[in-house]
Structure 1
Amino acid sequence: MSDQSAFAQLVEQDLAVIHRRRDAHAPPREAVEEAVIRACDWLLQRQQEDGHWVGELEGDSILETEYVLLLHFLGKADPEKVRRLCAYVLNHWQGPDGGMPIYPGGPSDVSASVKAYFACKLARIPPDDPRMERLRECILRMGGVTRCNTFTKLYLSIFGQYDWEGVPTIPPEIVLAPRWAYFNIYEMSSWSRAILVPLAIINACRPRRPVPPECAIDELFVGGRHGRHLRLPWDSRPVTWRNAFLLADRVLKVYDRSPVKPLRRRALKLAEQWLLERQRGSGGLGAIFPAMVHAIMAFKCLGYPDDHPAIQHELRELHRFEIEEDGETRLQPCVSPVWDTALALNALLDAGVPASDAAISKGVDWLLGVQTSAPGDWAVKAPGLEPGGWFFEYANEFYPDVDDTVMVLMALYKAACPQGEPWTSAPPRVRAAMERGLNWVLGMQNRDGGWASFDRNNDRMVFQYMPYADHNAMLDPSTADITARVLECLSFYGIGAEDPRVRRALGYLKREQEEDGSWFGRWGVNYL
């Protein structure tokens, strides 16, 4: 028996067990059908006039706290708005130990907690407020400010609450590295790239926005701020990638202090152009909160006035992330209309809503209108591949992703071929979109057989040892969940196990399976 046959047999056995257990505890069929009808009605009532769906996308407390810091950076910190933002953080995110987790019910995170404490002090919440006392005690138990990640230390340095010398250097010269170089910005994940390019500008300019003494956070340094060793510790083993990068950081700091930087002006100009180019066809840089905030700060460092179109564009898009409710303000990290519309259409069609229903037709038309038609950053690793993917948000032309694209492709197939016809029988406009999307997905397969989210072959693991890689998301490698969804999509388009691309993907999934039989999921439920 071949490995593939044995694998299929194991899957069938597991499914049989699941079905037996399900049938033993299944609710009455009528109750299930009634629930499905009510769920469909609920969805249909929430379709937007132009055909799309969009729900709230939740994030963690750093959204509100970093927004407070941005407002202070710009000198636009309306006290009432800051109060509402901090009220949401304290009322909804503070955990039982006093700290701030980065997901509901999770352990306290020192970086999120420090930013929350600083934001609350900027909101003039007294340090002897019981919530602040609990938060401060938790931060000190976790090691204090020096245990924060690089991005948090950079924020604090801007406001004079940390020493720039203790922040790992992000040199703007990284944008000058040619694309064939081992270390270049296109070897990082797309979201890291969109964050690090503006941060490199900020790091080079080292802006300062002093805060009043009563807003300082010296009390969050274990043993006091003065005399603390602020740099990242060396690895205990002498020869490691971490130590190599830390040594390079020391060299870069000497370069930063030098009056002669022959490449700095050119690097800053290229980084500026890179940011401006990626505003085209986007709802802000990367259409996501952290990159947009950093872009605004970077433009200010470059001397842009507040009313400059580049800054106003980012601010308008950030404002759309705000949700005001019950005297509080919270933010979304981005918006998800393409993903939500694809999910809604798949759910409605699977539930039996006819493909001819006007709601389905409107949803399909909306999706066809937001398919990408221009190359983005992904084209650096996939030259010659025709654009055809879909992004997550309303506008993000440079960053379509495989996951959204396959969800859209499945929705288009179910809507255009409701009787299981070949996809080539779809109406011409839909068929053309399907073909472009399918070819783009197939062209984004990685050399290991799997698929990632935004880029191809973005897997140079050495990048995770960089001093500013402590957000644990420097790379965009293949993942089991996206690869599995691609295979599900391909099955609708008649591409099965006999296809060499599918065989490579199945091989990848077999290699990635955990010992307990599950798979690690990065983009949704974990584990799978």
Structure 2
Amino acid sequence: MTLLDLQHADGHWEGEVVWNTMLLSQYLMTHHILDSRALSEVDLKDARKHYELTVLDDGSWPFHCDGEEGSLYVTTLAYVALRLIGTPADDPLTARARAWMHRRPHGVAAVPTWGRMWLAMLGLYPYEGINPIPPELALLPGVVQRMYTHTRHVYLGLAYLYGARFQHTEINDEIRAELHGDKTNFRRHEIDDSDLFQRPIWPLRRGYDLLTAYERRPSRKLRAKALRRCAELAERELAASDGQCLSPVNGLLACLVLAHAGEPREQVLKRLTKLDVWRWQDEDDGLRITGASSAIWETSFAMRALVAGDAPEEPLRKAHEWLLGAQVVDELPPELREGRDRVAGGWCFFRDRTIRWPVSDSTAEALSALLLTDDAIGTRTPADRARLAAEFILTRQNPDGGFGTYERTRAPGWAEKLNPSEMYHGCMTDLSHVECTASCVSALVRYRRRWPDPRVDDAVAAGVAFLRTQQRPDGSYRGAWGINFTYAAFFVVEALTEAGVPVGDPAVAGVADWLLRHQRPDGGWGEHHLSCRTGEYVPHPHGQRTMTGWAVLALTRAIGPEHPAVLRAGQFLDWPQTIHEAASGVFFGTAVLDYSLYRVIFPVWATNVVEGFMRQPS
């Protein structure tokens, strides 16, 4: 299937972003708590089908789509969800999962905090065994708003539910016995090795101990005020995002919060239905809840892949019109703006502008796609809309010259040491990232070619300086949102060369040398997701088409399309795909994501770029 075949009728591209079954489990649990009748028999059958397709040979479920070992967190939630939708305890799917969980050194008692909270809400885990998540933190001026967007919205929901000791009234003693047996020792600091990535540091654990003492007799007046504040923020997030929320995780929690806070049942169920925007369902893979939706991101890259080739004009015109229409052009109303940076001018990662959580690099890539399409086929991006985008990007630049994602950096780097998530890293504050910075630099350079602006000149210079500081001694750059060094190389080389840095400069030549050293004998590139965990390059056993596309796009700029390494890579991309393409996205270091369209877009883009160079007159 070609890239043009995958374009939607309205002009955009959108592939599935696959993570794990955790989101499906939370979706089923929320429906069980709020309205189990809302799911049809087909939904339940398709949910089971997805669990069957993703279970490992030992009966567990992995932490991500390419995981080879089970996760206690994901497996426990899958087990409970399956039981809640009617799967018997002696069914092979649940029986094998239960046996796997019981073989863990501390059993289900050692599930991470997020898992404990979902179990506690169903009466399957004691709140006393959970490290405190006090809602009173929401009353401290500026504390919550300094956290990374996803983290703060998840924890606002968890804090309310923890503080209220939320518990579904239909307690299933049978499932509780299946999970725990006769174990009654629930140690707050004990986390299973299958999920633990960053153990909370000693001062944080000591803080938990002190808060545990407070939780025995919290101030009723203060607790009530804090709960009202958390509920208010949950409702505000739903209103600002047209009910879709920043992610399905915080959206499901927000529905539970408002249900407990007294919102009418019919209104809560309407809110829950809005979250179906995150659903994917088909005959092949059943029902699943996607970890993200990346229509704007993938449409921008697909447009650039087509611009690099000999694509017909009409698909590009439709894509240009759709992408321009997806820009956020109005500001949030004052009652919804508390703690938010400006949104006008940006593009979201999501499929349209209604979610109103625009991102720096999504905006940058959308602006680049529009301007490059203008150059290729003569479309016209209005100057006022381009200026609005450039101004949005400028508001996301940090003092260090780099760019984060949703917001400017609001907390110092040491805040990452206070990470309570146990399973992730880099999730506490929106620090500058190599890829986001590179995307923003490239877009601003393209913008200033048409509309010169001294502010843009300063921002580009600062962005380039930041990128120089991030280069490692071996010439590579570490990424944060893809796997990993190969991903970063693609963005960095484009940004530096667009900004006028010569190819002989160490910042460009070093990346090229690093890529050449890591080319596989078959001509491709392949990087294992463990690179994201270790911080050092880990080769994949097989060449990967997506990563080879990234490397070729970088090398055509750095060493030219006629270099033997690029020609060998072209042969690799021309060969029929004979192996499973590994996932190439990631967030927070451990959550590997499979962007289904990446394996189409980037090989096509790389091939078109090389062939385009070859067609140029000598």
Alignment of 1:249-264 (within 5 A): 249-258=208-217, 260-264=219-223
- Tell me the residue number matched to 2:41: 80
- Tell me the residue number matched to 1:302: 261
Of 463, 469, 474, the residue aligned with 1:511 is 469
1:482 aligns with 2:436: yes
How much does 1:329 deviate? Answer: 1.8
Query: Matched residue of 2:465: which SS?
Result: helix
Runs ≥4 residues deviating over 6 A: 376-383
Q: Structure 2: how far apart are the matches of 1:188 and 1:391?
A: 19
Structure 2 segments unaligned to the other structure (5+ residues): 192-198, 487-618
Number of equivalent positions: 466
- Residues 195, 219 of structure 1: alpha-carbon distance in 2 compared, 3 angstrom cutoff: closer
- Tell me the residue number matched to 1:98: 59
Deviations 1:403-436 (A, max 9, x none): 21011001110122338x9xxxx84x62211111
Alignment of 1:2-401 (within 5 A): 39-43=2-6, 46-49=7-10, 51-76=11-36, 78=39, 80=41, 83-106=44-67, 107-143=69-105, 144-179=107-142, 184-209=143-168, 210-216=170-176, 218-220=178-180, 224-226=182-184, 228-232=185-189, 242-258=201-217, 260-308=219-267, 311-318=269-276, 321-325=279-283, 328-353=286-311, 357-372=313-328, 373-375=330-332, 387-393=344-350, 394-401=352-359
Q: Structure 2: how far apart are the matches of 1:68 and 1:415?
A: 43
Q: Structure 1: how far apart are the matches of 2:431 and 2:218?
A: 40
Name the stretch that deviates more: 474-483 or 189-198: 474-483
How much does 1:61 deviate? Answer: 0.8
Query: Matched residue of 1:151: which SS?
Result: helix
Name the stretch that deviates more: 110-119 or 121-130: 121-130
Deviations 1:129-180 (A, max 9, x none): 444343234334443223322111000011121110111222222222223x
- Tell me the residue number matched to 1:435: 387
Q: Structure 1: how far apart are the matches of 2:177 and 2:463?
A: 50
Q: Structure 2: how far apart are the matches of 1:339 and 1:86?
A: 28
Alignment of 1:450-465 (within 5 A): 450-465=402-417
- Residues 103, 142 of structure 1: alpha-carbon distance in 2 compared, 3 angstrom cutoff: same
How much does 1:218 deviate? Answer: 4.4
Deviations 1:415-468 (A, max 9, x none): 22338x9xxxx84x6221111111211221122222111111145344444473
- Residues 137, 488 of structure 1: alpha-carbon distance in 2 compared, 3 angstrom cutoff: farther
- Is 1:283–1:396's contact at 8 Å kept on the other side of the alignment? yes
Query: Matched residue of 1:160: which SS?
Result: coil
Deviations 1:88-114 (A, max 9, x none): 343222123332112233132221111
* Letter of the 2:22 counterpart: I
- Residues 139, 340 of structure 1: alpha-carbon distance in 2 compared, 3 angstrom cutoff: same
Identity across aligned pairs (percent)?
24
Q: Structure 2: how far apart are the matches of 1:490 and 1:292?
A: 34
Q: Structure 2: how far apart are the matches of 1:386 and 1:128?
A: 51
Structure 1 segments unaligned to the other structure (5+ residues): 1-37, 235-239
Deviations 1:22-50 (A, max 9, x none): xxxxxxxxxxxxxxxx735324xx3223x
How much does 1:220 deviate? Answer: 4.8
- Tell me the residue number matched to 2:375: 417
Q: Structure 2: how far apart are the matches of 1:41 and 1:370?
A: 20
Q: Structure 2: how far apart are the matches of 1:449 and 1:204?
A: 40
Deviations 1:205-257 (A, max 9, x none): 11222433332254457xx422x1421159xxxxx983333333333334333
Q: Structure 1: how far apart are the matches of 2:3 and 2:474?
A: 36
Q: Structure 1: how far apart are the matches of 2:3 and 2:85?
A: 44
- Residues 187, 404 of structure 1: alpha-carbon distance in 2 compared, 3 angstrom cutoff: same
- Tell me the residue number matched to 2:397: 445
Q: Structure 2: how far apart are the matches of 1:386 and 1:55?
A: 25
* Letter of the 1:198 counterpart: G
Q: Structure 1: how far apart are the matches of 2:260 and 2:464?
A: 48
- Is 2:478–2:484's contact at 8 Å kept on the other side of the alignment? yes
Deviations 1:179-210 (A, max 9, x none): 3xxxx112111111221112221111112224
- Is 1:168–1:468's contact at 8 Å kept on the other side of the alignment? no
- Residues 395, 147 of structure 1: alpha-carbon distance in 2 compared, 3 angstrom cutoff: farther
RMSD of Structure 2 on Structure 1 (CA): 3.3
- Residues 82, 468 of structure 1: alpha-carbon distance in 2 compared, 3 angstrom cutoff: farther
- Residues 171, 39 of structure 1: alpha-carbon distance in 2 compared, 3 angstrom cutoff: same
